[in-house]
Structure formats: structure tokens, C-alpha cells
Structure 1
Amino acid sequence: MIDKLEFFMALARTRHFGKAAEELGITQPTLSAGIKQLEDQLGVMLVLRGSRFQALTPEGEQVLVWARRITNDTRTMREEMHAARRGLSGRLRIAAIPTALAMTPLLTTPFRERHPGVSFTILSRTSIEVLSLLGNFDIDAGITYLDNEPLGRVLSVPLYAERYQLITAAGTPLSEREQVTWSEVAERPLCLLTPDMQNRRIIDHHLAEAGASARPTLESNSMIVLFSHIRTGKWSSIMPLNLAETFGFAEPIRAIPIVGPDASHSVGLVVAAREPRTPLVAALLEEAQRLAKAFQSK
């Protein structure tokens, strides 16, 4: 039944028989037959379909919850047995907020040195998407803000505090300052992350605290787009200090601390609060704790 549940989960995720079959590496008739066999075994209709996928039935929505639990438990069992015989191997799926993406090598590189049989998939997602993917068993872990919006039932490891800087080209207004205020930053032509990003909501909040508001002339969900526009000298941005340091900004780009207030927000690793954890997730938590101690010692 496990393979049929995985068929069903892929269909629920893609909401398209052809795309689900392609994702699974099977033919569409094989997928359709598998879903029909699962419906026959359970004695309920799971999918509303005519010439194409329409929706899950109410029973289908209930089965989807169980399917995620059952397949995750099966994966955990397989990983434990494999790790007991041969050590850790497999793939870790991590989703990170855009401002944390540049920090992921600090976690993945030492992890893979300890466990060379492990590979990674790293996705860029909003904080809301990180939690949704985690709850749906679509990722193993997330890297997101810990102290700004509700997290739900997760286990978290704080990694570092995110502080904010004005990132601007040399020779532009404010570029020679040692520090700037949030209200001064608001007067610059800004390129910022889109409003669905928690980083943007944080920035909007601190600007409002200073009696200002964000009026970006460019928005994007890509940090690369923001960096490329900063380099033109026509835009400035607000980014975390650790991100600026990771990308190694040098002249003609300046990173200037923003004060009034000197704001910070905790970023960390989150995993689902479930037992038992897969050996891969347990090892990732240990690596995150080592990284957190390294940040604290700086």
C-alpha cells in the first residue's frame, strides 16, 4: 500500500495526473490504476475527476493526512535500519528563507564531511511556506525566523541573530556614514524583498517604528536581483549583516549599520516536533547545535 499512498500524495501535491506521473517516473495509466486500487482497498472515493483532476474528496483530504504520517514513519524506519548497517546516507530536504540561504553552507558543509553519504536539496521559500512544507512532510527541516511570527509545533535550534544594514554603492548619499537611522534609510530609492517575505514585514515594522514607511521602487523575491540592482548605484537595500559579510561586499559597495533602533531577530533551524525522528534529522539537529555554539563564541 505504501507505493499507492505515495502515488496519492504526488497527485495531491501536483493536482495533475500527468505531472504527478512524471514526478514519480511512471506512466499516467499506472498512476491512475494505483489511485483506483487505493480507493478500492479503502472503500471510499479519494479524487474527484472527469477528463482531468478536479479536487480531493473530503475522504481524500483525511487520507492525505494519514498518508503523510504513514510514509514518513516508513521512511524513518528504513533510514534507521540502513544507518544501523552502513551509516548515514540519503537526502536531506531543507527549505530556507532567502536571507538565510547564504548561511546554509555553514551547516551543510561540515555535516557532509561527517556523513559523506548524505546529499542535500535546498529550496528558497517564505517563512510561511517553510512551515507548511514541514507540516506536510515535504521537507525534513527549515531555516527561518524564530521570534517574529508563530511557528506552531516545531523543535527549534537558534543559530544567529539577524541585524540590519543599509547596502549601497560608494558615492551615493549616506555611503560615507558610520551608521544611519531607519528614517534616513526610508528616504533612499530602495529595492526590497516582496511583502510576502517575513524579512520585508520585519523591515516595514522597524520603519514604521521610526515614523517612516517603505516605498521601494523595486521589489523581488530574489536576493540576486536585489544585489544586481544595488551594484548599479541607483538603488540601495536593507539586508542582514551576516548576509553582507557572507557575500563579501567590498568597494564600491558599502554596508552601513542601521540604528534607532538597532534591531535584531533570531534565525534558526526548525524540524517537526515528532518522534521518532529520522537519523538524518537527528544528525542535522546535532550539527545545528554545533553551529549555534560557534556563532555564540564569536
Structure 2
Amino acid sequence: MINKLEMFIAVAKEGHFGRAAESLGITQPTLSTGIKQLEDMLGVQLIFRGSRYGGLTPEGARALVWARRLVADSRTFREEMRVSRHGLSGHLRLAVIPTALTWAAKLSARFSDRHPKVRFTIQSRNSVEILKMLENLEIDAGLSYLDNEPLGRVTTQPLYTERYMLVCHAENALALETQVSWADIAGERLCLLTPDMQNRRIINQCFMEADVTPDALVEANSTVVLAAHVEQGGWVTILPADMARFLASGKRLSIVPIVGGHVEHSVGLVAPHREPHTPVLDALLSEAAELAAS
């Protein structure tokens, strides 16, 4: 039954039978048969469909909540049994906001040193996508903001506090300053993350509080792209301190602290709000707590 529930979750996520079948690595007829068998087992129609997917029925919407819970519990059960036989092993899937990727590397490196049998897949995603991926069981945990926008029912483990820095070319006049305000950056050629990123929304708010309207001439969903523009000269960007130091290392870039505004936000792990977590996820949460305290 679990495999049929996974089929149902995939269809609900993709909103399309063909894409759902492809995501599961099965044929569309196999998927359709599995959904029909699940509906027969439960005695209700779960999905409106004619020639194509038509959405979930009211019963299907309620069943989706249970399906996610049952599939998650099944995975936890399998993990518990594997740990009892082979020790901590498995595969951790993380989605991380772009500005926290350096911290994701710190966390995964420390964890891998202690638990070498655990593999990682790390993806860069915005905060909204991370919460959606958690809900759809596509990832085991995320690394995102904890205190700026609603998270819903998740388990959190703070990791660090994000503080913002101006990143400019070493020849920029602002590179000589010991600190700058948001107003000081007005008039500079800005390149910033795209508006779908929570980091960009935070930065926009800081500018507005300083009565400055930010005008980013270049927008990207990659911090590497932003730093590359700054290195070309004539551009400036704003990044968290750790990411700024990492990208500026070995380049003719300067980083200058920004003062004023609400420039500190908590970033950490977000995980599904359920007990028990898998042994691997429990170990990751503990590792994050140790890293935060170090």
C-alpha cells in the first residue's frame, strides 16, 4: 500500500499523471493502475480525472494528509531498522537558501566526518520552495530563515545569525569605509538576488526603512553571479557575512559592514514537525546544535 500512497502523493504534487510517473521512474499505465487500486482499497474517489488530471476530490484532499504521514512513518520505520542492523547510514536530502550554502557545507562536512556512511544531496532553493518540498516529502530538511516569515508547523534548530555586508570592488570609494549605512549605498549600481528570495525581501525592507528605493540593474538567483558582476567593477552587492567572505577570498573585492535597519536574522535547520524523526535526521539536528554552539 505504501508504494500506492507514494504514487498518489506524486500525482498531487505534479498535478499531471505523466510527470508524476516520470518522477517515480514508472510508466503512466502503472501509475494509473496503482491509483485506481488505492481508490478501490479505500472505497472513495481520490482524483477528478477525465482525459487529464482534474485535481483532488474532497476525500482526496483529506487522504493526502494521511498519505504523507503514513509514507513518512514508513520511511522512519525502515531507517530505524537499518540503523539497528548497520549503524547510521542512508541518504540526507537538503534544500538550502542560496545565502546559507557555505553553512550547509560546514554542517555536512562535520556530519560526514562522524557518519561516513551517510550520503548528502544538497539543492539551492528559496524559502517558499523549501517548505513546499518538506510538505511533499521531497527533502528531509531545509536550511532557511527562522524568524522573518511564517514557517508553519516545522521543527527548527537555529544555526547562526545572518548579518549583512556590502561587497564592492577594491577600487570602489566605499571600500575605504569601515562601515556604511543603507543610505550610503543609494546611487550605487546594485546587483541583488531575485525578488522570490527571502534575502531580497529583507534587503528591500532595510532600504525602505532608510527611505531608499533599491534599483537592482542585475538580478540573479545565484550569489556566484552577483560576486562575478562585482569583480567586473562598477557593481556592488549585499550578502551575509560568511558568504561575502567566501566569495571575496582571493579576489579584488572588499567587504564592508552595513549598519542600521533590521540586519540580523536567524537561519537554521527546518525539519518536519513529527516525532520520531529518522535516526539520521535526529543526528543532523544534534550536529547543527553543536555547530551553532561552537
Unaligned runs of 5+ in 2: none
Shift of 1:263: 2.5
Residue 96 (structure 1) shift: 1.2
Do the aligned residues in 1 keep the contact of 2:194 with 2:219 (CA within 8 Å)?
yes
CA distance in 1, matches of 2:247, 2:168: 14
Change (3 A) 1:262 1:273: closer
Aligned residues of 1:179 and 1:259 also touching (Cα < 8 A): yes
Q: Find the aligned partners of 1:158 and 1:6 in 2 and give their Cα distance.
A: 31
Superposition RMSD on alpha carbons, in Å? 1.6
Check if 1:130 corresponds to 2:133: no
| 1:236 match | 236
- Output the amino acid matched with 2:35: I
2:144–2:269 CA contact under 8 A, matched in 1? yes
Letter aligned with residue 120 of structure 2: F
Gaps of 5+ in 1: none
SS in 1 for 2:173: coil
Tell whether the 8 Å contact from 1:163 to 1:262 is kept in structure 2 after alignment.
Answer: no
1:262, CA displacement in angstroms? Answer: 7.7
**2:96 matched to which residue of 1?**
96
Aligned residue identity for 1:55 = G
Q: Does structure 2 retain, via aligned residues, the 8 Å contact 1:93–1:121?
A: yes
| Structure 2 residue 184 is the aligned partner of structure 1 residue 184 | yes
Structure 1 equivalent of residue 84 of structure 2: 84
Q: Determine if contact 2:248/2:255 at 8 Å carries over to the other structure.
A: no
Residue 55 of structure 2: aligned partner: 55
- Opposite residue 121 of structure 1, the aligned amino acid is T
**Which portions of structure 1, spanning 4 or more consecutive aligned residues, are displaced by more than 4 angstroms?**
none
Q: Secondary structure at the match of 1:269?
A: strand
Query: Percent of counterpart pairs with the same letter?
Result: 55
Amino acid of the structure 2 residue aligned with 1:19: R
The answer to whether the Cα contact below 8 Å between 1:103 and 1:246 also exists between their aligned partners in 2 is no
User: Distance between the aligned counterparts of 2:238 and 2:229, measured in 1?
Assistant: 13
Query: Residue 216 of structure 2: SS of its match in structure 1?
Result: coil
* TM-score normalised by structure 1 residue count: 0.93
- Amino acid of the residue matched to residue 166 of structure 1? L
CA distance in 2, matches of 1:271, 1:140: 7
**Aligned ranges 1:164-183 → 2 under 5 Å:** 164-183=164-183
Residue 70 of structure 1 pairs with residue 70 of structure 2: yes
More divergent stretch after superposition (268-277 vs 73-82): 268-277
- The answer on 1:4 being equivalent to 2:4 is yes
Q: Which residue of 1 aligns with 2:145?
A: 145
SS in 2 for 1:104: helix
Alignment-derived partner of residue 33 in structure 1: 33
* TM-score, structure 2 as length reference: 0.95
